[in-house]
Amino acid sequence: MSAALLPALPVGPVAPELDLAGWLNSDPAPALRALRGRVVLLHAFQMLCPGCVAHGLPQAAAAFEHFGPQGLAVIGLHSVFEHHRAMGPDALAAFVHEYRLRFPIGIDRPGDDGPIPTTMRRYRLQGTPSLVLIDRAGRIRASQFGRVSDLALGGAIGRLLAEPGLPDVGADPAQAAPACSADGCPVPE
Amino acid sequence: MSAALLPALPVGPVAPELDLAGWLNSDPAPALRALRGRVVLLHAFQMLCPGCVAHGLPQAAAAFEHFGPQGLAVIGLHSVFEHHRAMGPDALAAFVHEYRLRFPIGIDRPGDDGPIPTTMRRYRLQGTPSLVLIDRAGRIRASQFGRVSDLALGGAIGRLLAEPGLPDVGADPAQAAPACSADGCPVPE
Amino acid sequence: MSAALLPALPVGPVAPELDLAGWLNSDPAPALRALRGRVVLLHAFQMLCPGCVAHGLPQAAAAFEHFGPQGLAVIGLHSVFEHHRAMGPDALAAFVHEYRLRFPIGIDRPGDDGPIPTTMRRYRLQGTPSLVLIDRAGRIRASQFGRVSDLALGGAIGRLLAEPGLPDVGADPAQAAPACSADGCPVPE
Amino acid sequence: MSAALLPALPVGPVAPELDLAGWLNSDPAPALRALRGRVVLLHAFQMLCPGCVAHGLPQAAAAFEHFGPQGLAVIGLHSVFEHHRAMGPDALAAFVHEYRLRFPIGIDRPGDDGPIPTTMRRYRLQGTPSLVLIDRAGRIRASQFGRVSDLALGGAIGRLLAEPGLPDVGADPAQAAPACSADGCPVPE
């Protein structure tokens, strides 16, 4: 199941910006445009998805712990596409508190038509848990639904961290150089 | 941590009846009075309690699977004492669906004063997960907060199943002989 | 795989005596005849059998730890039927030392014809790991090849410990009442 | 425990050649000089070391499986420094067969004085399991005693695989370009 992930890491399209209805553990809202120059692990989950709770979220937390000081940004994305009433913002806040998740988490915006939220649709994710790896230039390098081994994920992150890309901006998000002009921060195409 | 549980299994007081605001996977509501003659594993949990999700509930489900055919009754008890808004009946129903829990689950009735629900208070449980073992005569034989090893729990259940108690009523709850008089089924204090 | 084990625990024949070429962690040699009145878990293994090292032996050690004070006797049986040169007494002693096994271990006597050792043949074991449960009266109640869940094993041990059998002889093997006469200790048929 | 490993990967001395008394799963003997241009994971173990069997060797096997097609060479090193009689070549062959290890394994040469074998001494390993990471230029980049997380190891391997070093020689060891002159292949000091 992990085989599809990491050896190749082919260069994909620029990662679409997140469309969020709220966020946790972050101020301001987590935004990809502020993270150019860094490698990003985007982890899409639902708080009542057993595979997310058992594997995906602990893995994202461990990646945040281990690779954060090396410059990896980890962003959780709460992409609810079922049981919407049971997984509202209050419930998510309680969940994040109880599971002691410390990385920034965005709440995917509910879709206008149908149960799939908008960011999830933009990324064409197949379900939860899903992980997306974005390189220093802001491009999608891997997108994987389901369980991925730690060894495979570590290898992919290590490869992407080793790529020169933009000048290294260090491990502190506050020092990240956003690819923004004086007029604002354009959403990448 | 499991040491307190199983060797002794001293005879405690009669198990107080459950006070429920609702129930799942059961019709009628799960009730101890209908289970006299059987050994009962009562598992108190909260759906957003990490230790319950990781250890307690899978263990209760495995006990239901393995010991159910031998006559064990397993009852889940959703005893919410924090984050009440995040763990209402709708959320619990979604949780039970996603985690495929098949044993009867009662929703502990909210307390009149304070956050502790009534059944949890009756049993003086220290938190979640907690497990309570009730013998064929309806008496508490073990009450344990926290993680218990499978070996220890299996041993305690095996011992209690081996006790003669009332005439064996078999594995079918529908055939259970309630310890009720012609006047009704009194709730023990 | 564990399904075959524990619910029934039908009464089988008297457990044949162990035929040993040596022993560890015990003085005198571990002998079933000295354990009448107690429940016995016999665990057959090979030191180079991956399933034994990963699951069987840790389970036997945990059973020794948890149920020993309740009166269970645990005996390891090193039944080598392949790679005989690699698993001689010296190698076993190093293995037992490194893995810190504390329960008595008998070395199954090599067979006269063929690779199967004699005790393993007497018990008609299908391979390693295998576990055999013997009741207080010395009778085989379960014999299982392969992996057994802790819950299932705990349940079976708990049931057997609850059987009255002979008068309880306590947890200390030194105080065990052997079923021997003044003339000696007969090997049960 | 894994913290020491991977973020930095400072450039260390050239990895000393292996000094072997025998080998398995390889023809000819595994030799570092034949692997210049590739990243090498050297895993030192003892067959009766519980931490090696439970964690180190499965991790090495998983790294071989996952990163082998990406160009990683995995070499096991059987560095016996205790219980020498129990871990001779015959025993190791049986062990490798039973545990289905498929990567090349060298048998570290017994030391002239004292129990530490020669390659282990050259690398100043603190015990088993130990892992050593060698980059494409043949230099030691990490040396770690004890347990390392899969995420950390994967990250370090990914980083090293991403380094250009010598021209990539592909995943086939037979095509590896040894850093040898016409006069032969000198053992680095």
Q: How far is A47 from chain B (nearest CA, A)?
A: 9
Beta strand pairing status for D72-78 and A105-108?
unpaired
Window C:132-161, CB contacts with B under 8 Å: 149-161
pLDDT tens track for A142-177 = 999 999 999 999 999 999 999 987 544 443 343 333
- Residue from D170, A86, D6 nearest B85 by CA: A86
Total count of residues recorded for chain C? 189
Give the total number of structural domains in chain B: 1
- Out of D83, D93, D97, closest to residue C94 by CB: D83
| The predicted structure's pLDDT at residue D164 | 86
| The predicted structure's pLDDT at residue A5 | 60
| The predicted structure's pLDDT at residue C6 | 57
Distances (CA, A) of C183 to C174, C179, D105, D150: 20, 11, 57, 62
CB–CB of D108/D77 below 8 Å? yes
Confidence of residue A183 (pLDDT cuts 50, 70, 90): very low
**How distant is the alpha carbon of residue A165 from its chain centre?**
19
Q: How far is B41 from chain C (nearest CA, A)?
A: 13
Asked if the C-beta of B7 comes within 8 angstroms of chain C's C-beta atoms, the answer is yes
Tell me if the bond preceding C16 is cis, omega within 30° of 0: no
The whole-angstrom separation of Cα D177 and Cα D171 is 12
CB–CB of D78/D47 below 8 Å? yes
Asked if the C-beta of A50 comes within 8 angstroms of chain B's C-beta atoms, the answer is yes
Record: contact B86-A83, CB cut-off 8 A:
no
Q: Which residues contact A3 (CB under 8 A, 6 or more apart)?
A: none
Determine, yes or no, domain membership for B140: yes
Using DSSP, how many helices (H) and how many strands (E) does chain D show?
A: 5, 6
Determine, yes or no, domain membership for A187: no
The structure tokens listed for B154 are 């299996």
Beta strand pairing status for B72-78 and B105-108?
parallel
Which regions of chain C are under pLDDT 70? 1-7, 166-189
- Residue from A186, A158, A178, A164 nearest A7 by CA: A158
| The predicted structure's pLDDT at residue C48 | 96
Record: contact D95-C50, CB cut-off 8 A:
no
Q: How far is C85 from chain B (nearest CA, A)?
A: 35
Determine, yes or no, domain membership for B42: yes
The whole-angstrom separation of Cα B53 and Cα B101 is 11
A186 pLDDT more than 80: no
Asked if the C-beta of B58 comes within 8 angstroms of chain C's C-beta atoms, the answer is no
Task: State the average pLDDT for chain D.
Answer: 86
- Residue from D77, D162, D189 nearest D125 by CA: D77
Residue C133 dihedral angles phi and psi, to the nearest 5°: -110, 130
Determine, yes or no, domain membership for D178: no
| The predicted structure's pLDDT at residue D3 | 40
Record: contact B161-C150, CB cut-off 8 A:
no
| One-letter amino acid for residue D71 of the chain | G
**How distant is the alpha carbon of residue B120 from its chain centre?**
11
Determine, yes or no, domain membership for B13: no
- Residue from A155, A114, A124 nearest A9 by CA: A155
Mutate to test the interface with D, among C45, C47, C84 (most CBs of D within 10 A): C47
Asked if the C-beta of B89 comes within 8 angstroms of chain A's C-beta atoms, the answer is no
| The predicted structure's pLDDT at residue B166 | 57
Q: DSSP per residue over C51-77, as a string?
A: HIIIIIHHHHHHHHHHHGGGTEEEEEE
* Residue whose entry in the numeric block shows the structure tokens 């299982």: C144
pLDDT, mean of residues A26-33:
92
| Percentage with pLDDT > 70 across chain D | 84
* Residue whose entry in the numeric block shows the structure tokens 């992409």: A79
| One-letter amino acid for residue B76 of the chain | G
- SS3 labels along chain A: CCCCCCCCCCCCCECCCCCEEEEECCCCCCCHHHHCCCEEEEEEECCCCHHHHHHHHHHHHHHHHHHHHHCEEEEEEECCCCCHHHHCHHHHHHHHHHCCCCCCEEEECCCCCCCCCHHHHHCCCCCCCEEEEECCCCEEEEEEECCCCHHHHHHHHHHHHHCCCCCCCCCCHHHCCCCCECCECCCCC
Strand segments, DSSP code E, in chain B are 20-24, 39-45, 72-78, 105-108, 130-134, 140-145
Q: Which residue of C has its CA nearest to B3?
A: C66
The whole-angstrom separation of Cα D77 and Cα A103 is 40
Confidence of residue B170 (pLDDT cuts 50, 70, 90): very low
Burial degree of D1 (CB within 10 A; 0-12, 13-18, 19+): exposed
Q: How far is A172 from chain D (nearest CA, A)?
A: 15
pLDDT tens track for B45-101 = 999 999 999 999 999 999 999 999 999 999 999 999 999 999 999 999 999 999 999
- Residue from C20, C81, C93, C74 nearest C46 by CA: C81
Determine, yes or no, domain membership for B163: yes
Record: contact D70-A158, CB cut-off 8 A:
no
The whole-angstrom separation of Cα C25 and Cα C20 is 14
The whole-angstrom separation of Cα A136 and Cα B172 is 61
- List CB contacts (< 8 A) between C93 and chain D: 86
B174 pLDDT more than 50: no
Determine, yes or no, domain membership for A184: no
Window D:109-128, CB contacts with A under 8 Å: none
| The predicted structure's pLDDT at residue C174 | 35
Total count of residues recorded for chain B? 189
| The predicted structure's pLDDT at residue A166 | 57
Asked if the C-beta of B162 comes within 8 angstroms of chain C's C-beta atoms, the answer is yes
pLDDT, mean of residues D167-180:
37
Record: contact B48-A90, CB cut-off 8 A:
no
Q: How far is D19 from chain A (nearest CA, A)?
A: 29
- Out of C54, C82, C90, closest to residue D86 by CB: C90
Total count of residues recorded for chain A? 189
Q: How far is A13 from chain B (nearest CA, A)?
A: 34
The structure tokens listed for C75 are 């005996």
The structure tokens listed for D45 are 């173990």
The whole-angstrom separation of Cα B139 and Cα B146 is 21
D2 pLDDT more than 50: no
Record: contact B158-C154, CB cut-off 8 A:
yes
Print the domain residue range for D146: 20-169
Tell me if the bond preceding B129 is cis, omega within 30° of 0: yes
The whole-angstrom separation of Cα A62 and Cα D153 is 13
Determine, yes or no, domain membership for C85: yes
State the sign of the Cα–Cα–Cα–Cα dihedral C11, C17, C20, C24: positive
Tell me if the bond preceding A129 is cis, omega within 30° of 0: yes
Confidence of residue D8 (pLDDT cuts 50, 70, 90): confident
A6 pLDDT more than 90: no
pLDDT, mean of residues A76-87:
94
CB–CB of D154/A150 below 8 Å? yes
Mutate to test the interface with A, among D2, D66, D67, D74 (most CBs of A within 10 A): D66
Record: contact D95-C87, CB cut-off 8 A:
no
Record: contact A85-B90, CB cut-off 8 A:
yes
Residue B116 dihedral angles phi and psi, to the nearest 5°: -80, 125
- List CB contacts (< 8 A) between C97 and chain D: 83
A97 pLDDT more than 80: yes
Q: pTM for the full model?
A: 0.85
pLDDT tens track for D137-155 = 999 999 999 999 999 999 9
How many Cβ atoms are within 10 Å of B163's Cβ, its own excluded? 14
Chains D and B touch (3+ CB pairs under 8 A): no
CATH code of D30's domain: 3.40.30.10
Q: How far is C8 from chain B (nearest CA, A)?
A: 9
Between C14 and A27, the higher pLDDT residue: C14
* Backbone torsion region of residue C49, taken as left when φ is above 0, otherwise alpha when ψ lies between -120 and 50, otherwise beta: beta
